Chain A
Amino acid sequence: MVVQQISVFLENKAGRLASVAQALKDSSINIRALTVADSSDFGILRMIVNKPDDALKILKEAGFMVKLNPVLAVEIEDREGLFFEIMKLCDQEHINVEYTYSFVEQYSNKAILFLRFDDTERAVDLFIKNKYKLLGPKEVSKL
């Protein structure tokens, strides 16, 4: 139950994000969620897209350094305290969260939390055991 996130290496210079966006647009790839982590010199653009394999191929062809990495997409109710519950759970089990980002669905009371773990398999087991809803690639592409 993991989702492939696409990560792109970008130098901090004008127009790089636009080039990625254009390559995706030209191939009708739809971005479902994104976040950028940046240092002073470079950034890593992390995206959830509807067709990760196609996106990988297209961006590679356009000359970008790209990789697919497994992340968990957890659908949770959009209410106070739930993020804490999840973090507490991971902490108790000593599962390390590398990074996370989320988005809130506007017309329902749901939120999707994307989580990257150092040990993805253990994390999947943990979430299933605790009855969290993990979204698969198909569900994510329909978001």
Chain B
Amino acid sequence: MIWDKKSETMPLEDLKKLQGKRLQKTVERIYTNVPFYKSKLDECGIKPSDIKEISDIKNLPFTTKDEMREVYPYGLLASKQEDIVEIHTSSGTTGKPVVGAYTQNDIDLWSEVMARTLSMGDVTSKDVIQNGYGYGLFTGGLGAHYGARRIGAMVIPISVGNTKRQLSVMRDFGATALTCTPSYSLYLAEAGKDEGVDFSKLPLRVGFFGAEPWSENMRAEIQEKLNVKAIDIFGLTEIIGPGVASECECQDLLHVFEDHFYPEIIDPSTGEILPEGQKGELVFTTISREGSPVLRYRTRDITYLTREPCACGRTSVRMHRILGRTDDMLIIRGVNIFPSQVEHVLLQVDGVEPHYQLIVERRGSMDLLEVQVEMTETIFSDELKVIELKEKEIEHQLRDSLLISSKVKLVEPRSIERSEGKAKRIIDKRNI
């Protein structure tokens, strides 16, 4: 179901014009109000009047996460502080957090793009949404909340964690839609199974999962275990939170809400814009935000864009689910490895579940990769050799796919940390 037919099915020509106009307004706004951007633009010799159409974006400077941190807390404000009605921040686990500031118009925009997202899974005012994203400074909880409110659906603002209560609330209130991270959805499924919950007997029918990378195999597992249609959603605090892009009912690539968030794919080393279909670093410019607009934010996510038409009728450009991170990418013995590749392989091995961790160590000048995978009921045997054969089988499959050898270690069930937020997949013990 298309929430905003006019915007979501706009002909490309009209869209380009709209994007150009909005970009121009954004550059004007930040040139006047944000000293950080004024000096950046001055350095590049660009005046707001130089921006005439959307393709002029290529002349604008990039913004990095580090730059955004340096101006913490209010350095990105393009509105008067009294016009800001809400703030959110990134987790700040790797340094100072990045701040997103929202005017009332920004909150309305956020509600709209999240209403578009939820409509992609046919959520209407009749639905009951169990919102398992964390409420607070994290954008997930309130973002999904605002979207549900805009549609008029009933929200259960349960937030993250307290799994037993999640399960009873899901049953008691008859939740039809679930919003949470994909890893938490599987955690719920496992816990539900232990409690004897039969998900096929619950009215739950759709889930919107994002905030961490996941794979097609994980989707299959979630869909089977929770008996839902699993929709991949995408967003980031630096841009607005969830609601930057989402899969539609076709579950094939994510529609970018490009009338508000303009995407580009660049070569991460040269900054050159890459043509449609080529993989590279995803870059976003907010062209409708007021509180904290961002120019050409380098996400460090790797993906590609395509304008191939989608069966749903929406005309927006689509992005592939994130293929990796420029910073999460492990380089082991010269080979690039993404956790998502490992996950893909693991899920093809019979009896293996996607609970794993990659541990990299350096012995002498040699990098060693250990893949820890949790033992499952299907794999476990009272015979040593059966387990060892399974380890060998996984090692073999990983070598075929990653092109480097690794050591697979089966570990006790639930011993790998289950983030109720995001799964930590890599432990890099190398001191490089």
Contact = CB atoms under 8 A, between A and B. Distances in A.
Given A63-B412, A63-B414, A9 B375 contact: yes
B195 to A, nearest CB: 12
Interface stretch (A25-33, A35-43, A74-82): A35-43
Contacts of A7: 380-382
Interface string B351-394: 00000000000000000000000011100111110011000000
Contact of A65 (B377, B384, B388): B377
B91 to A, nearest CB: 28
A127 to B, nearest CB: 20
Q: Report whether over half of chain A's contact residues are helix, strand or loop; otherwise say mixed.
A: strand
A65 B383 contact: no
Contacts of B383: 44, 98-99, 116
Contacts of B387: 9, 39, 42, 44
Given A9-B375, A11-B415, A67 B410 contact: no
Interface string B388-416: 10000000000000000000011111110
A64 B411 CA distance: 11
A116 B412 contact: no
Given A11-B415, A65-B375, A65-B377, A42 B382 contact: no
A135 B413 CA distance: 33
A64 B415 CA distance: 10
A115 B303 CA distance: 56
Q: Chain B, interface size: which category?
A: 10 to 19
Contacts of B409: 41-42
Nearest to A7: B382
Given A5-B382, A9-B380, A65-B377, A42 B413 contact: no
Contacts of B414: 63
A64 B384 contact: no
Nearest to B410: A42
Interface in A42-79: 42, 44, 46, 63-65, 67, 69
A2 interface: no
Contacts of A99: 383
A41 B410 contact: yes
B406 to A, nearest CB: 14
A10 interface: yes
Given A9-B380, A65-B380, 11 more contacts: A7-B381, A9-B412, A10-B412, A11-B411, A11-B412, A46-B382, A63-B413, A65-B413, A67-B381, A69-B382, A116-B383
Interface of B: 375-377, 380-384, 387-388, 409-415
Interface of A: 5, 7, 9-11, 16, 37-39, 41-42, 44, 46, 63-65, 67, 69, 98-99, 116
Nearest first, the 7 closest Cβ-Cβ pairs linking A and B are A7-B382, A69-B382, A65-B375, A65-B380, A37-B384, A65-B413, A41-B409
